[in-house]
Structure 1
Amino acid sequence: MQATTIDEVISFLDAIIEENKQIPSTMGYFAALYQKVTCKVKEGIENHFFDDNPRMERLDVIFANRYLQAYTDFKNGATPSKSWVAAFDEADNYWFIVLQHLLLGMNAHINLDLGIAAAEVMKGKNIEDLKDDFDKINVILGELVHDVEKELSIIWTTLAKIIKVTEKFDTILIDFSMKLARDGAWKYATLLANSPETTWPQLITERDEKVTRKVQIVINPGFFIKILLKIIRLEERGTIKTRIEILEKD
């Protein structure tokens, strides 16, 4: 399951989404969100939003293929990166809320895979030439934050009331998915790009271990937050299948 175009990426993600609706499995949550992001990136490419649109498609494909490979490996009993194993291993955790499953996927894909993909697409070139287009992805993600809030509010109706009186949920999503994670991904991309290629396997292994440790923030957020998350989990509406369908809505 390796794509060569952004259309193939979307097709593979569609297949993963449908597969996990049928199982059903919470692994479909991240796939549904990722498919939506990919469609937005495709729209940006078609509208010449980026400085180098063909390059952005190559980046998108390289980036997505890391997730597709990790997913395929895990399903086939092989071992993907530790950070993806940590995310996939929690798919059957009944007490995890939808947002936790999304954050685990985002942790592995943004904190590990994105930097590697950026370095790969700029191999032999100046990584700084990619920076403006890399930052433009933040614009696309920012536009999706409110969509994700709306979808999660359908699943957990109390969230809609919370959003009316606080902007903290915005802050959590934006900080995790963009400001902190993507800033870290860019620093890691520049580290790889400026290092001899022979050192990449070791640098990737070290990064993977560091990213895997970050999983504990989501898995073990503390006693009181765990209690709160369990309450939210009991209030979440719908089946796994219907939640996936909510997350993939435009």
Structure 2
Amino acid sequence: MSEFDDIAAQRPANIDEAIPCMQNALRYFHERDDYRAIFLRAYYIITLNVHAAINQRGDYTNPIFFDAGWVSSQAGHFASLYFRSLTTFERDPDAERAWKVAHGMAQERSSTVLQDLLLGLNAHINYDLAYGTYLNLKQHGDEVQHLSLPRRKFDHDQVNNILIRSIPQIAETLTRDYGGGIQLLRKTMNGLDVVLSGTGLKYYRERVWWSAISYLATTDDEEVNLVHQRSNWESAQLAKRIADRSIWSLPVRTVGRAIRKEKFGDITLETPVRGA
């Protein structure tokens, strides 16, 4: 197996296993100036912040989850689906369509930094997250303990707040390491992007939760596939809009590609916050 095959085959069981897996992939992408690094770098920052919240470190000195172990397991499922997506072109052309757009544009180097970020977020949230949440609910027997579902929903929503708090750090890091002007956009919009991103993230993660419950309510593989196909179709439609190649978006895309870095250089990765 090649080094890339080893990375794509990673299947972490929890957040502690997910972090070094992501580090391996980021170093691999950076060594090759691979644009797939952009989304993964943002995802890595979010994962570190969730890890801090789970372990009550850094800014998260008080517990914010009912069941931190469930959240850690959820992160493992979620990361495993991301690594699986790296081999999406080996599978059915109609499967994982949002990931095919995201990884395809990154490998073609035809996208802006913002597009790489948004395409990855769309595929990972609107396609992967519902199924990953379903797998985690099944693993913990939540389909037979219905009163546990509101507790899981609370923890799911708590992650929303971590995502929103991560936006400034993501914008600063991506602009510094990859160019693209996301940090300048934040300053120009005077914080409006945080409001809009927060609203959008909450909206889509709310939809994802109910898709996960739809998975949980299925009675056979055919019904599971029905839910899967809806997520596939909906995430693909949003991917098409983000990947807009029309003449109307040409000036923005031209500027965006002109100010992004072609060479990434060495990567200095943030590390998990240590305990006291």
TM-score w.r.t. the length of structure 1 is 0.86
Per the alignment, in what secondary structure is the counterpart of residue 210 of structure 2?
helix
1:186 equivalent to 2:186? Answer no
Calculate the aligned-residue CA RMSD, in Å.
Answer: 2.5
Give the corresponding residue for 2:169: 147
Alpha-carbon contact 1:26-1:240 (below 8 Å) kept: no
- Which residue does the alignment assign to 1:14? 23
Query: 1:57 pairs with 63, 72, 97, which one?
Result: 72
Structure 2 letter corresponding to 1:50? F
Aligned residues: 244
Greater helix proportion: 1
Q: Does 1:122 align with 2:144?
A: no
| Closer, same or farther: CA 40–108 of 1 in aligned 2, 3 Å | same
**Deviation by residue 1:127-170 (Cα, 9 ceiling, x = unmatched):** 33311101100111111111123234442458527624544432
Note the residue ranges of structure 2 that are not aligned, 5 or more in a row.
1-9, 57-62, 272-276
Q: Is the 8 A contact 2:97 2:236 kept in 1?
A: yes
Matched, 1:70 2:85: yes
The answer to whether the 8 A contact 1:150-1:160 is kept is: no
What residue in structure 2 maps to residue 206 of structure 1?
230
* Contact 1:163 1:169 survives alignment (8 Å): no
In the alignment, the residues of structure 2 paired with residue 211 and residue 159 of structure 1 have an alpha-carbon distance, to the nearest angstrom, of 26
Change beyond 3 A, Cα 1:162–1:133: closer
Q: Return the offset for 1:217.
A: 1.2
Indicate the SS of the match to 2:227.
helix
Stretch of structure 1 that moved more, 120-129 or 99-108: 120-129
Change (3 A) 1:51 1:157: same
Amino acid at match of 1:15: N
Q: 1:161 and 1:32 mapped to 2: Cα distance?
A: 19
% same residue = 18
Q: TM-score, normalised by structure 2?
A: 0.78
CA shift, 1:61, in A, is: 0.8
Contact 1:119 1:189 in 2 (8 A): yes
Cα distance in 2 for partners of 1:149, 1:82 equals 26
Alpha-carbon distance change, 158 to 175 in structure 1, aligned in 2, over 3 angstroms: closer
Which whole-Å CA distance do the structure 2 matches of 1:43 and 1:167 have between them? 24
Query: What is the CA distance between 1:19 and its match in structure 2?
Result: 0.7
Write the distance in 2 (CA, Å) between the matches of 1:221 and 1:184. 27
CA distance in 2 between counterparts of 1:147 and 1:192 reads: 34
- Shift in CA distance, 203/158, structure 1 to aligned 2, threshold 3 Å: closer
Q: Does 1:33 align with 2:57?
A: no
